[in-house]
């Protein structure tokens, strides 16, 4: 009897809660005039509609029903979803002043001790951290030739490992992951050293009336009275968390992209042969490829860019947050609405890339095939002020790893086996499913 009563009370409470949530949402939507979208269920909102590990699929299906900009409620959090290049560009670039925030989830603060860091922070702390880190990157040559030596060292190790496989079928992923990870680690170890040096330089030239950047701000707070200690702690945390975020964002992305590149080589031997032809004529065999070769290798650059388009390892941009009430395409979007940008629809858009499922490096070549053509719609690294902070570093790693491997080896599917599946392994990063390949040393190596 008691159990029955408990059940009735629970049902009434859940029913009332559901009612309140629906009424609140409908009022909210009416008041804010958000873009159209499916009606949300109590508590879960529209979560049941996007409960697919390959989340871009339901997002695309909803776009067919509601258009390229629509609303979606995730739990109780209102979102707008952007599904084409024009909408993403309008929001992240055209209205960057209000579309550049990140959601403030309590869990982020718990994990990072209050610091938003690079990935999850926003506002002036994030902006300072981003400006400062990118300046540091430029300071010690990330993405430039001066950093090549470190990557070359890792590449020599990979070459040795791959040679040892002696044409036997093997999975190259772990070699790629440890080599890209190690080269990132040594970059960040230098970033740490650089940071220490900058802090001591700042101490020497510190002027409380002329605060130049985040380090000066940190010194001000640290030198000031105890009630500001927490702020100083937060600022310091921002710096440390920023480096941690860089490493986190960098390791999975580059190694997975390279793994895709290897898979594409098994499926497209003619592309592999053309890249090798270009490597042979521009780099030759007496040295490793260098970033200074890139400008003379339009086909290779086009192939890398096209493979990145097709791999599209970050299909949905980490959520943005609207920082203040705004009007977007005539809809009223209130502050704190989250924004999801579906890059998969952009990079697979048949209007922009005819027969988008095909690998065609020519999309990024001039009509005489002599120059690489940059295309604005190629936004695998995102767009606007939150564009990937590691883009230069990633591009450098991709170019050097890919060309060095193809300079020395030809990659094929193991004899008797068909080329492995191109279907991704769904997750936050879309990776290629595990596969084996054979690496044959090219004739010139013997
Ligand atoms: C092929 C490799 C990579 C791809 C495709 C990629 C893609 C992306 C994308 C789509 C975003 C989200 C942009 C947005 O929120 O609007 C992003 C953000 C970010 N990426 Fe990458 N990334 C790659 C490699 C890297 C590497 C190597 C690093 C670090 C060294 C890195 C560090 C970051 C950071 C820190 C952010 C957050 C930036 C911010 O919120 O201000 N990424 N990346």
Model pLDDT for residues 423-433, shown as the tens digit of each residue: 998 877 899 99
List phi, psi (to 5°) of 34. -70, 165
User: In angstroms, rounded to a whole number, what is the distance separating the alpha carbons of residues 400 and 294?
Assistant: 9
CA distance 149 to 90: 40
Per-residue pLDDT tens digits for 242-276:
666 676 777 789 999 999 999 999 999 999 999 99
Residue 232 pLDDT > 70, yes or no?
Answer: no
Residue with the two structure tokens 């040096």: 197
pLDDT of residue 114: 53
The answer to whether the CB of 342 is under 6 A from ligand 1 is no
Domain count, the chain: 1
Residue 140: the pLDDT is 60
pLDDT of residue 263: 97
Q: What is the structure's pLDDT at 228?
A: 45
Give the pLDDT mean for 370-387: 96
Taking residues 237-244, report their average pLDDT.
64
What gap in Å lies between CA 389 and CA 45, rounded to an integer? 33
Is the pLDDT assigned to residue 237 strictly greater than 90?
Answer: no
- Looking at per-residue confidence, does 218 or 438 come out higher? 438
Evaluated on CA atoms 400, 403, 408, 414, the torsion sign reads positive
Instruction: Report the pLDDT value the prediction gives residue 226, as an integer from 0 to 100.
Output: 46
pLDDT at 1 > cutoff 70: no
Q: Find all residues with CB under 8 Å of 118, minimum gap 6, and list them.
A: 126, 129, 130, 133, 241, 242, 245, 246, 249, 389
Q: Report, as an integer, the average pLDDT of 389-403.
A: 92
Q: CB of 29 closer than 6 A to ligand 1?
A: no
Per-residue pLDDT averaged across 197-224, rounded? 70
- Report whether pLDDT(212) > 90: no
- Give CA–CA dist 157/401, Å, rounded: 12
Average pLDDT, integer, range 312-334: 94
CB 91 within 8 A of CB 113: no
**pLDDT higher at 191 or 121:** 121
Ligand 1 contacts CB of residue 35 (under 6 A) = no
Q: Residue 208's pLDDT band (boundaries 50, 70, 90)?
A: confident
pTM of the model: 0.85
Whether the per-residue pLDDT at 357 is higher than 80: the answer is: yes
Of 340, 390, 398, the one to substitute when testing ligand 1's pocket (max ligand atoms within 8 A of C-beta) is 390
Q: What integer pLDDT is reported at residue 32 of this predicted model? A: 57
Span of 37-41, 248-252, 310-314 with lowest mean pLDDT: 248-252
Q: Is 275 in the pocket of ligand 1 (CB under 6 A)?
A: no
For ligand 1, say whether the CB of 379 is within 6 Å of any of its atoms.
no
Kindly calculate the radius of gyration of the chain based on its CA atoms and give it in whole angstroms.
Answer: 25
Distance 343 CA to ligand 1 centre (A): 13
Per the prediction, the chain carries an average pLDDT of 85
pLDDT of residue 225: 45
Asked whether residue 406 carries a pLDDT value surpassing 70, the answer given is yes
Give the CATH number, domain containing residue 97: 1.10.630.10
**Domain of 136, in residue numbers:** 2-445
pLDDT, average across residues 155-176? 90
Mutate to test the pocket of ligand 1, among 241, 249, 250 (most ligand atoms within 8 A of CB): 249
Residue 229: pLDDT above 50? no
Q: How far is the CA of 320 from the centre of ligand 1 (A)?
A: 13
* Distance in Å, CA 360 to ligand 1 centroid: 25
Burial 2-24 (b: 16+ CB within 10 A, else e): eeeeeeeeeeeeeeeeeeebeee
Instruction: Please say if the pLDDT value at position 313 is more than 90.
Output: yes
At 227, the pLDDT band (50, 70, 90 cuts) reads very low
Q: Is there an atom of ligand 1 within 6 Å of 103 CB?
A: no
The two structure tokens encoding residue 143 = 């993405």
Q: Which residue has the higher pLDDT, 32 or 351?
A: 351
pLDDT score for 204: 79
């Amino acid at each position: 009897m008691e159990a029955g009563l408990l059940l009735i009370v629970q049902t009434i409470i859940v029913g009332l809660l559901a009612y309140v949530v629906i009424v609140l949402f409908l009022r909210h939507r009416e008041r804010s005039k958000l873009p159209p979208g499916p009606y949300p269920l109590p508590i879960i909102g529209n979560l049941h509609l996007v409960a697919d590990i390959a989340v871009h699929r339901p997002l695309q299906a909803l776009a067919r029903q509601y258009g390229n900009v629509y609303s979606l409620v995730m739990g109780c959090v209102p979102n707008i979803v952007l599904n084409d290049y024009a909408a993403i560009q309008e929001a992240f670039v055209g209205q960057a002043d209000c579309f550049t925030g990140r959601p403030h989830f309590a869990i982020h603060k718990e994990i990072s001790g209050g610091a938003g860091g690079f990935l999850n922070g926003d506002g002036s702390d994030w902006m300072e951290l981003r400006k400062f880190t990118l300046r540091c990157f430029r300071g010690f040559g990330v993405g430039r030739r001066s950093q090549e030596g470190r990557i070359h060292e890792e590449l020599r190790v990979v070459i040795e490992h791959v040679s040892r496989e002696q044409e036997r079928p093997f999975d190259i992923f772990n070699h790629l992951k440890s080599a890209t990870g190690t080269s990132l680690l040594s970059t960040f170890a230098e970033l740490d050293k650089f940071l220490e040096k900058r802090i001591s330089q700042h101490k020497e030239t510190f002027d409380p009336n002329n605060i130049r950047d985040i380090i000066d701000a940190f010194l001000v707070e640290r030198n000031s009275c105890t009630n500001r200690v927490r702020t100083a702690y937060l600022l310091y945390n921002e710096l440390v968390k920023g480096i941690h975020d860089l490493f986190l964002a960098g390791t999975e992305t580059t190694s997975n992209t390279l793994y895709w590149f290897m898979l594409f080589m098994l499926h497209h031997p003619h592309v592999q042969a053309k890249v090798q032809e270009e490597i042979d004529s521009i780099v030759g065999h007496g040295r490793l490829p260098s970033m200074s070769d890139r400008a003379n290798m339009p086909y290779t650059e086009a192939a890398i860019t096209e493979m990145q388009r097709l791999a599209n390892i970050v299909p949905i941009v980490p959520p943005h947050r609207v920082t203040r009430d705004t009007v977007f395409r005539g809809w009223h979007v209130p502050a704190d609405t989250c924004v999801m940008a579906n890059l998969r629809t952009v990079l697979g858009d048949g209007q922009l890339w005819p027969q988008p499922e095909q690998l065609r490096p020519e999309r990024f070549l001039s009509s005489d095939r002599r120059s690489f053509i940059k295309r604005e719609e190629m936004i695998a690294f995102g767009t606007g002020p939150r564009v990937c902070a590691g883009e230069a570093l990633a591009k450098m790693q991709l170019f050097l790893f890919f060309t060095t491997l193809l300079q020395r080896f030809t990659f094929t599917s193991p004899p008797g086996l068909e080329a492995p599946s191109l279907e991704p392994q769904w997750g936050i990063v879309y990776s290629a499913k595990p596969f084996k390949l054979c690496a044959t040393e090219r004739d010139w190596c013997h």
